[in-house]
Amino acid sequence: MNRTFAALALTAALAATAGCGGGAQSGADDISEVTLRVGDQIAGAEPLLEAAGELEDVPYRIEWSTFTSGPPLLEAVHAGAVDIGQVGNTPPVFAAAAGSDIRIVAAFDAAPTASSIIVPAGSPIREPADLAGASIAVAKGSSAHGHLLGVLTDEGLSFDDVDVNYVQPSDALASFSEGGVDAWAVWDPYVSQAEDRTGARILVDAEGYVNTYTFQVANTAALEDPALAAALEDYVRRIHRAVLWSRENPREYAEVWSEHSGLPVEVTEQAARRRDPVPRLIDDELVAAEQALADSFADAGEIPESPRIADFVDDRFNGIVPEAPGAGPGAGEEPAAAGGR
């Protein structure tokens, strides 16, 4: 689904900001004629920006496209149908393994409570080890796929020890609700939705199993176009501000998110509080964590070989990473250690 957000026409240029790895784009580029094509999911960059007031003075047009999960979104980024979109930790691994024309340009630390493996309320599955032999729904190449891999590996299990059903979240919700699978690896707001609709029980979240980064991922050709790159910088700034705003105003964010998604506001508010993202630098620690995830998928036979993640990052916007009050370092400071393994 595509729709165009017509922003107010502005003549002011973007302020120049020096960034790491070559610096951010100069404000000399005229972006008033730019249409930035943004890929979105139910997790909702559009409602986030709208709730935070960041869509009120955009000096270019935004065309939104909605995807069911990160992998198809990044396929669109690679194809040049979308300029940028937000995904979890695993879609870039699969896209990089396929040699896609993408670059990670912004990163966020999300709370491990944002991703869970859930089971029906009356399920005999009480511990992660009980997943052996179970049927598990998950979207292939999604962050939940990475979470599931981490949990299985930690328990000495492999994908051969479970019955994996690779389905997108909308189909997985129906299957889970009807008892078609024993467990579901997924992220919020789907976790909160399943709890609300079916009384689902969280078996385990992502704490200690996998990194919980989320990313803004851009098309390489868009980054090479001066006007588009300037619009991308402005968009990333707005996302940063909106994310920090949402941490302080989860209810207000949830109300707009509910309007966009059709989910009950109680579901979107719980999801917002569980995610609690913080902007962070693209640095060696992040690249190493993503490389470890890629290596794990290759070892598990889920991708043909492990890509070199460093070839798929672009840190030009590091200089505009803000510091979240009381939530860790911003630009130019030593980042906190990433959780997971």
Q: What does pLDDT average to in each consecutive run of 10 residues of the chain (341 residues)?
A: 36 34 49 97 92 97 96 98 98 98 98 97 98 98 98 98 97 96 98 97 97 98 98 98 97 96 96 95 98 98 98 98 62 31 21
Question: Do 2-110+212-320 and 112-205 have matching folds?
Answer: yes
The pLDDT value recorded for residue 5 is 36
State residue 310's pLDDT score: 99
pLDDT at 21: 37
Tell me what pLDDT residue 323 has.
82
Q: Among 163, 162, 151, 214, which Cα is nearest to 188's?
A: 214
Q: Report the pLDDT value the prediction gives residue 141, as an integer from 0 to 100.
A: 98
Q: What pLDDT score was predicted for residue 325?
A: 63
User: What CATH fold (topology level) applies to the domain 2-110+212-320?
Assistant: D-Maltodextrin-Binding Protein; domain 2 (3.40.190)
> Which pLDDT value is given to residue 24?
41
pLDDT confidence of residue 326: 52
Q: Domain extents for the chain?
A: 2-110+212-320, 112-205
Residue 42: the pLDDT is 86
Q: Classify domain 112-205 at the CATH topology level.
A: D-Maltodextrin-Binding Protein; domain 2 (3.40.190)
